[in-house]
Amino acid sequence: MRAPTLTPFLPHHGHLWLTQHVPGIAFATLIGLGAWGLQHLEVWLIGQAVLDALVLALLLGMLWRNLIGVGMPYRSGITFTGKHVLEGAVVLLGASIDLPALLKAGPTLLLAIVVVVTVGISASTLIGRMAAPASESGHPDSGRQLYLRELGHGSYGTGY
């Protein structure tokens, strides 16, 4: 019989999972705390938060990655955070929108939101596909699969 562990929710080798992911999760947490602080600074300076902490965290993370870069020890934890934690955060951000206030503002605002989100997702997908490195086969996903394999995430990014 196997002895119970402190990490029953983790894959079979919990200690290995922790050593691979904790540095990146801690880094993402620091970015989030910095964004939370910036949101409070906004409130203190101008009386309201113009940008939510989640949006500020996304912007800070993008700036950090593009200007400074992310080292290999942090990548798997950041990937985990981006896949799992970010999804929950976006759901919570969406839940914070006051539906009655949105309906009161009128259908024009609702339509504008739908259009902006659709265009944003479409544009980011197109830019991502154009910027993704293509492998020798020329298939756009092949370069992504090579990159994920280098990170140790299997051929389809499912190494968890």
What is the predicted pLDDT for the residue at 55? 87
State the CB neighbour count (10 A cutoff) for residue 2: 4
Provide the percentage of residues in the chain whose pLDDT is more than 90.
16
**Above 80 in pLDDT, residue 154?**
no
What is the predicted pLDDT for the residue at 156? 45
Instruction: Tell whether 33 and 20 lie within a shared domain.
Output: yes
Residue 14 near residue 5, CB atoms below 8 Å: yes
Q: Is residue 26 in a domain?
A: yes
Q: Is residue 38 in a domain?
A: yes
Q: Is residue 2 in a domain?
A: no
Chain CA centroid to CA 81, Å: 6
Mean pLDDT (whole number) for 134-149:
54
What is the predicted pLDDT for the residue at 159? 42
What is the predicted pLDDT for the residue at 141? 52
Total count of domains within the chain:
2
- Three-state SS for 27-89 is HHHHHHHHHHHHHHHHHHHHCCCCCCHHHHHHHHHHHHHHHCCCCHHHHHHHHHHHHHHHHHH
What is the predicted pLDDT for the residue at 122? 85
Instruction: Tell whether 78 and 147 lie within a shared domain.
Output: no
Instruction: Tell whether 20 and 90 lie within a shared domain.
Output: yes
Instruction: Tell whether 26 and 44 lie within a shared domain.
Output: yes
Instruction: Tell whether 23 and 83 lie within a shared domain.
Output: yes
Q: Is residue 136 in a domain?
A: yes
Structural domain of residue 21, as residue ranges? Answer: 15-96
Mean pLDDT (whole number) for 146-157:
52
pTM of the model: 0.53
Token reading at 50: 């113009």
pLDDT tens digits along 1-47 = 455 555 545 555 667 777 888 999 999 999 999 999 999 999 999 99
24 Cβ partners below 8 Å, 6+ apart?
73, 74, 75, 76, 77, 78, 79, 80, 81
